[in-house]
Structure 1
Amino acid sequence: MKPNIHPEYVECTVRCSCGNTFKTHSTKSEIVVELCNECHPFFTGQQKFVDTGGRVQRFADKFGGAAARVKEQEAAKKAAKAAAAAAAEEA
């Protein structure tokens, strides 16, 4: 191998979002992961939902009230049609 072109291979600390930490070797001194062998459903046998950065919550905030708004719009359209029909009958 050529000298002075390869990165240093150092002891690395891996931190998981569940709080588990362990040591390994890598070219980086610290690695942060979302899932590890202590919390991954394959290894634990339990179903676990991982919500990265609150994406589900952001979606619910953005589109959660959409169903109520659609119902209000449909009710307004029905009321407008009923008013137009009543006005047509009177004329």
Structure 2
Amino acid sequence: MPKTNLHPTWFTNTPILCDGKPLGLIGSTKPELQVDIWLANHPFYTKNQVMIDSEGRVERFMKKYGLNSTDQ
């Protein structure tokens, strides 16, 4: 005999929300999906990437190879 109630409930129109704004509808096993980053606010696609110099790596590289400026 197969087991009953084995599969989760399928929601056909699950809203995807980012900062409380609806992005679209998909099918999911959860009634609502919250996302932090999506295509319109992802730094790679919006060209807002910030280079973080942790532990002076860029300065050490520049000093090691005798370069004067980071803008070359």
Answer yes or no: is 1:6 the counterpart of 2:2: no
Which one has a larger percent strand, Structure 1 or Structure 2?
A: 2
**Could you say what secondary structure the match of 2:44 adopts?**
helix
More helix by share: 1
Stretches of structure 2 lacking an aligned partner (at least 5 in a row) = 51-72
Give TM-score, length-normalised by structure 1: 0.42
Larger of the two Rg values belongs to structure: 1
Change (3 A) 1:20 1:35: farther
Q: Percent of aligned pairs with the same residue?
A: 31
Q: Take 2:29 and 2:49, find their aligned partners in 1: how far apart are those partners?
A: 33
Structure with more contact order per residue of length (Cα contacts < 8 Å, sep ≥ 6): 2
Q: TM-score, normalised by structure 2?
A: 0.51
TM superposition outliers: structure 1 runs of 4+ over 3 Å: none
Name the residue aligned to 1:41: 43
